[in-house]
A and B are shown apart, each in its own frame.
Chain A
């Protein structure tokens, strides 16, 4: 399973874009990049995922480098409610017997007024 490396913490001003980096230099060609976040002690919440193209949904954008060794999650207009721990995960989607869904240590994003 490919490992991910994220900075332990980041700050962002409310209303500004939050850019959360993730390094996954050992990612395989069939592994997707997923992002989840965990607010307080709740269960993690899915944000977005991608394989090699950039992706955007109502919550965030995901930028994956051309060599796929790193990615950035972008929250375009951070709010106080975006304060959470953000996890970057790589996994093989729909792979029978190998889908372990391993979490790293994540980045604690603090959005301040």
Chain B
């Protein structure tokens, strides 16, 4: 049981490049979330999903897109990366009848 796995763990992008971050959970959880955390700051919700095929905007959705084609996977896309998107990205999942959220280990993204 791996829990929540994020891929990749580290990435350096050039401004304007695109990339996709993958979050995979093996707990059959309904809800999944993407957050970003800037240095010295708390976690800010980017997008979330309450089930397969559904997504919704969080607090800071601009510049990001998401997809949840399979229940176990939640993808975060950056179409045209900007230096302001340099951050640590966390994914989390929660089951409908569970009480706690499980987090991935984070993806450290640098945009130069």
Contacts and interface: CB of A to CB of B under 8 A. Distances in A.
Interface of A: 34, 36, 41-46, 49, 85, 87, 93-94, 96-97, 99-106
A41 B106 contact: yes
A43 B45 contact: no
A98 to B, nearest CB: 8
A85 B41 CA distance: 10
Interface stretch (B11-19, B65-73, B76-84, B97-105): B97-105
B92 A43 contact: yes
Contact of B31 (A42, A44, A49, A99): A99
Contacts of A34: 100
Interface residues of B, number: 28
A97 B96 CA distance: 11
13 contacts: A42-B105, A43-B4, A44-B92, A45-B103, A96-B96, A97-B56, A100-B45, A100-B48, A102-B45, A103-B45, A105-B41, A105-B42, A106-B42
Contacts of A105: 41-42
B9 to A, nearest CB: 11
Given A105-B42, A106-B42, A43 B50 contact: no
B103 A101 contact: no
Interface centre among B43, B59, B97 (most CB of A within 10 A): B43
Contacts of B99: 49, 93
Q: Which 3 pairs of residues, A with B, have the shortest CB-CB distance?
A: A43-B103, A46-B100, A103-B43
B33 interface: yes
B65 to A, nearest CB: 18
